[in-house]
Amino acid sequence: MVRATRLVILGKQGAGKGTQCVRLSQHYAVPHISTGDMLRAAVRAGTEFGSLAKSYMDKGDLVPDDVITGVVSERLAEPDAHQMGFILDGYPRTVGQAVDLEKVLLPLEIDLVLDLVVPTELVLRRIASRRVCKVCGANYSVQAPPKLDWSCDNCGGEVVQRDDDTEVAVKRRLDLYESQTAPLVEWYTEREKLVSVQGEGDPDEVMARLIAAVDRAKGQPKW
Ligand code: ADP
């Protein structure tokens, strides 16, 4: 049987996690589990949970740990993630969530945490230009728009700027990243799980660096 691959990706807003995770998920044949995408799907579906999540998201605040951990643990229990592994994007985002994730996964554990490192000036530029499909959540940018008139290439949905990509909400999210999420770099380094990968440059180059990092770790005896 093929050994599962359980990955977490860290990186500031706009570091390129979403783009790279789509590729990594194809390369390692594991589901890409993005808490941001799951929450936006709940908002689109108009559920009670979605409107609760939206009230935090629009301000750039974090959804409470217990709420998000509940959503993630349900998803991780599904057969694809359970059998093949996963790439987790947007979770954990606090040390409390990392502790929760350890418990949720027992007796298994995360194999590797990839920290995608990009300077703040660059992420600010990327966020200002990024666009997303309102219907399926596919990512685009002003530099790489859909083929036809801001209609999604996958589903034809309208491609727009995210509601939480306003200047105020972006600043709040980057501040929260520094105070709440950046401490995870040290936390996972202490547990010998972390590898930092340079996120600047062409997406294909970044992808090659990420795959090299994962394959190197896979070659280690403890994998
Ligand atoms: P970004 O990384 O640009 O902030 P995401 O798509 O990862 O975007 O998340 C969007 C929003 O969803 C966050 O600002 C937050 O409100 C909420 N969210 C996503 N993941 C989590 C999480 N692990 N814990 C708490 N809130 C979360």
Domain locations along the chain = 5-118+194-218
The pair of structure tokens assigned to 78 is 């599904």
Active site residue 130: yes
From ligand 1's centre to the CA of 36, what distance in Å?
A: 5
Q: Which stretch of DSSP H or E encloses residue 140? A: strand 139-141
Beta bridge partners, 9, equal 89, 114
Active site residue 17: yes
What distance in Å separates the CA atoms of residue 26 and residue 179, rounded to the nearest whole number? 32
Please report, in angstroms and rounded to a whole number, the separation of the first and last CA atoms in the chain.
Answer: 15
**According to the model, what pLDDT value does residue 1 have?**
62
From ligand 1's centre to the CA of 181, what distance in Å?
A: 11
**Minimum mean pLDDT among 16-20, 180-184, 186-190: which range?**
16-20
- The arithmetic mean of pLDDT across residues 179-198, rounded, is 97
**According to the model, what pLDDT value does residue 202 have?**
92
From ligand 1's centre to the CA of 47, what distance in Å?
A: 18
User: Would the pLDDT of 116 be above 90?
Assistant: yes
State the helix-helix crossing angle for 167-176 and 120-129, rounded to 10 degrees.
140
Q: Specify the residue with its C-alpha closest to ligand 1, atom 6.
A: 36
Q: Which residue has the tokens 């950046």?
A: 182
Hey, what CATH topology would domain 5-118+194-218 get? Rossmann fold (3.40.50)
User: Would the pLDDT of 2 be above 90?
Assistant: no
Question: What mean pLDDT is reported for the chain?
Answer: 94
Q: Which residue has the tokens 């034809």?
A: 156
Q: What is the pLDDT of residues 65-100, one digit of tens each?
A: 999 999 999 999 999 999 999 999 999 999 999 999
- The arithmetic mean of pLDDT across residues 46-63, rounded, is 92
With H, G, I as helix, E, B as strand and everything else as coil, classify residue 148: strand
Look at residues 154, 150, 162, 149 and name the one whose alpha carbon lies nearest to residue 136. 154
User: Would the pLDDT of 219 be above 90?
Assistant: no
Beta bridge partners, 141, equal 130
Q: What is the pLDDT of residues 130-166, one digit of tens each?
A: 999 999 888 899 999 999 999 999 999 999 999 889 8
Active site residue 147: no
Ligand 1, closest atom to CA 72?
23
State the helix-helix crossing angle for 48-57 and 35-45, rounded to 10 degrees.
120
Look at residues 221, 165, 212 and name the one whose alpha carbon lies nearest to residue 192. 221
Pocket of ligand 1 (CB under 6 A): 13, 35-36, 39, 56-57, 60-63, 68, 90-91, 93, 97, 164, 173
From ligand 1's centre to the CA of 35, what distance in Å?
A: 6
Q: Which residue has the tokens 């190197």?
A: 216
With H, G, I as helix, E, B as strand and everything else as coil, classify residue 138: coil
Phi, psi values for residue 171, rounded to 5°: -60, -45
**According to the model, what pLDDT value does residue 221 have?**
80
What distance in Å separates the CA atoms of residue 189 and residue 178, rounded to the nearest whole number? 16
Q: Which DSSP string do the residues of 38-81 spell out, in sequence order?
A: HHHHHHHHT-HHHHHHHHHHTTTPPPPHHHHHHHHHHHHTSHHH
